[in-house]
Structure 1
Amino acid sequence: MKKRWFLVPLALLAVPVFAFQAGLFPELGARPAAEDRLRFLASEAYNPEAGIFENRRADLVAQMQENMETIPMLRKWFAKRPDARPVSELPQRQPDLQQFLSASSETKIIWFGHSTFLLNIAGTIVLVDPVFGDTASPVSFMVKRFQPPVLELEELPPIDIILISHDHYDHLDKPSIDFFVDKATQFITPLGVGVHLKRWGISEHRITERDWWQSHESHGVEFTAAPAQHFSGRDGANNNETLWASWVVAGPATRLFFSGDSGYDTHFSQIGERLGPFDLAFMENGQYDQAWPYVHMLPPETIQAFKDVNASRLMPVHWGMFELAFHTWYEPAAAVSRLAEQEGIELVTPMLGELITLDNSLRTTHWWETVAHANPE
């Protein structure tokens, strides 16, 4: 929903649709072909009459989009907002890749901001929703990142698997995918998302697509797609032609949950019952607003979803790198940390680039407070 507004200036000029149809704008990706849509017929989330994927409550996103398409909302997007972006670089640490790659039975994590993070699960290296480009949009002047990534793509260790949650620009970044065209890295995505990857040069044999509740094992790690309540699309005109998903990542001694982008619904308790418990849940917590609660959770809903999936630790993601909503850059972390303390929930909040190991010695801080206090509202 809010991501649809990223394309407003382009939509007014009718550029995205023309460029997409003409094949002139590869950042927009591709649309599923007829043979792809035949594959989708087996999915309970697919509506063959409409040719789109749908949430459990199929009308929610359409209703919200109608409510959002107003002049006051458009003005709000372009209004200046205090502390929407940090006035100085956020604190970060240079990742210790030697330690990250060292043999261990414990899962290791490096967060790059927003929903991009790197996992070492018993020696298998997994990169989730990689966005290393300058912007989370199809054009260079919109949705710029707060600061450069703590590692350039060339500095990453060899990646075994890239896991994608859905095809929005802040989760599927063409400049990042381009880097892996000539690598051996495997890609795991929800149904249909592979069409973008193939358009950008990734060989079909390197792409595995999964429907909700379907699994795929690779390099000794099992990946299970699970439901999420969201939407998809990259050109502003052809939404929901590819699926969106949350993911369960299960290694020999670790079970992780990644919510992807999602509003709150009954699927979280279903996931907890069918696939939990989890050692850690990467839960969406950021870029929310009362105007689009069905596709992004407010902090109290993030806490409830965490309880529903039955996880031991909560790591909030989807914040800390892009301005995609009306709240301050630090509000998501401050709000969820207050709620977690009230509920006795163990919160994991590493700095950008900080290496953490999922063991009993894990400790993190409220690092954003120093920066936020230096920039009073």
Structure 2
Amino acid sequence: MIRLCLLLMISVLLLGCASNQIERVQQETSVIKYSKKYPSGDRFDNLYPGRKDYPLTCQENCYPSSQYVLCQSEAEQCQFNKEQTPPNLEAGFKIRWLGHASFYIESPDGSSILIDPVSGQFDWPVDWAFRLSAGFFRNEAKWPTMEEISNVDAVMYSHIHYDHFNKSDIAAVGNNAEFLVPLGFAEHFPNNGYKINEMSWYSAKRIGKLNIKFVPAHHFSSRIWVPYLYEDNDKTLWGGWVVEHQGRKIFFAGDTGYSKHFADIQQRYGDMDICLMPIASYYHKENSDWYRYVHTTPEDSLIAAQELNCKVMIPWGYGNASWKMGDHSSHSALLRLLHMYKEMNSSIPLHILNEGEEVVF
């Protein structure tokens, strides 16, 4: 009798674990670049590796205070407080910044997407390793409602790093949405009936009336505690996204350093309407050259936005719910952005959000 009960329980569990549906999305226009550093031939590489010559670098007085950035202490726990009139693009996109790299976007046709959703700290046990090394947990992000989460049509991830991909959030979203991810990503999902589209660079997938394209970024990937002691480096691809609805385009850069790929994306897909651009994680007192190699400074992002011909730029990466990895403080990157925006006399309109705020273009 006991054996029969055990068999029934196992059968129920097995029936409850539906297999994932995995599609590798690749078209004639797709691009994949494999690294020559690894003999296995299964690791990815950036399109433009090697030494970088940056067009512009702030040299001194890069973080002056701003009357519009109100903080509890020096550049910490701040709110941007300035009345802004967003450009009227007649695009119909509603964009909400959840914190760090996470966005909730509603399209004009009523569909919704999540980009790089990470609601809390890193997956366990890496969250505790970060707590021990950094001395704090990240503040909670401004998360969508349960109704919004349950009705999401698509979830996109830019890369596998813990601050952009949290497995607990997959379970929260459930398996009704389609997941769009870089190549090599599907094996990191639990087997629970998820619809997963593994994308190569410059491949496209239609979700309802949205045409979603995966585009290059200049970064890297790894998913373990100590990346250089294990062998998963660059086994999954990384990139950004272009979300198009009736000719209007949102560009999400993902984690990236500055390189020629920005100009390539504009040449291939045309001017971008709304650009969601990273401005943080470029500073490290001992290794800033490497940090900047894979992350844009605020001035790098402003130059990239010019190359993309963005009609408006929304920055991300700073904030009260950031991890302050590669930053002086929670809002140092925003202060540098506001300073360099004036210094460069940039023509790209900026729209600054605090976490949890949304804007309609």
Is the pair's TM-score, using the shorter chain for normalization, greater than 0.5? yes
Structure-1 residue corresponding to 2:182: 190
The one-letter amino acid of 1:335's match is: R
> What are the Cα deviations for residues 275-320 of structure 1, in whole angstroms up to 9, with x where unaligned?
1211110111101123322100112111111111121111111221
Distance in 2 separating the partners of 1:85 and 1:139? 27
Structure-2 residue corresponding to 1:316: 315
Tell me if the contact between 2:217 and 2:239 (Cα under 8 Å) persists in the aligned partners.
Answer: yes
Q: Cα RMSD between the aligned structures?
A: 2.8
Structure-2 residue corresponding to 1:64: none
Distance in 2 separating the partners of 1:319 and 1:264? 18
Displacement of 1:156 in angstroms is 3.4
Structure-2 residue corresponding to 1:66: none
> What are the Cα deviations for residues 24-47 of structure 1, in whole angstroms up to 9, with x where unaligned?
xxxxxxxxxxxx9xxxxx953124
Q: Which structure's residues are more often helix, by fraction? A: 1
Structure-1 residue corresponding to 2:203: 214
Tell me if the contact between 2:327 and 2:333 (Cα under 8 Å) persists in the aligned partners.
Answer: no
Instruction: Within 5 Å, give how 1:210-289 maps onto structure 2.
Output: 210-235=199-224, 236=227, 237=230, 238-252=232-246, 254-289=248-283
Matched position secondary structure for 1:46: coil
Q: Which structure's residues are more often strand, by fraction? A: 2
Q: Show structure 2 runs of 5+ residues with no match.
A: 1-23, 25-29, 53-72, 82-89
What is the aligned counterpart of 1:117 among 103, 117, 131?
Answer: 103
Displacement of 1:201 in angstroms is 3.2
Structure-2 residue corresponding to 1:332: 333
> What are the Cα deviations for residues 150-189 of structure 1, in whole angstroms up to 9, with x where unaligned?
23663634211001100000100111112123x4011001
What is the aligned counterpart of 2:352 among 313, 325, 349?
Answer: 349
Displacement of 1:274 in angstroms is 0.9
Structure-2 residue corresponding to 1:291: 289
Q: Cα–Cα, structure 1 residues 180 and 305, in superposed 2: closer, same or farther, change >3 Å?
A: same
> What are the Cα deviations for residues 221-257 of structure 1, in whole angstroms up to 9, with x where unaligned?
0111111110001012211000001111101252011
2:157 matches 1:164: yes
Structure-2 residue corresponding to 1:303: 302
Q: Cα–Cα, structure 1 residues 194 and 270, in superposed 2: closer, same or farther, change >3 Å?
A: same
Tell me if the contact between 2:249 and 2:273 (Cα under 8 Å) persists in the aligned partners.
Answer: yes
* Structure number with bigger Rg: 2
2:45 matches 1:45: no
Tell me if the contact between 2:112 and 2:154 (Cα under 8 Å) persists in the aligned partners.
Answer: yes
Tell me if the contact between 1:287 and 1:327 (Cα under 8 Å) persists in the aligned partners.
Answer: no
Distance in 2 separating the partners of 1:265 and 1:202? 38
Tell me if the contact between 2:120 and 2:139 (Cα under 8 Å) persists in the aligned partners.
Answer: no
Tell me if the contact between 2:305 and 2:348 (Cα under 8 Å) persists in the aligned partners.
Answer: no
Q: Cα–Cα, structure 1 residues 60 and 244, in superposed 2: closer, same or farther, change >3 Å?
A: farther
Distance in 2 separating the partners of 1:111 and 1:224? 21
What is the aligned counterpart of 1:133 among 116, 120, 143?
Answer: 120
Q: Show structure 1 runs of 5+ residues with no match.
A: 1-35, 37-41, 62-82, 94-103, 359-377
The percentage of counterpart residues that share the same residue type is 27
2:170 matches 1:177: yes
Count of aligned positions: 282
The one-letter amino acid of 1:227's match is: P
Distance in 2 separating the partners of 1:304 and 1:162? 28
Matched position secondary structure for 1:156: helix
The one-letter amino acid of 2:162's match is: Y
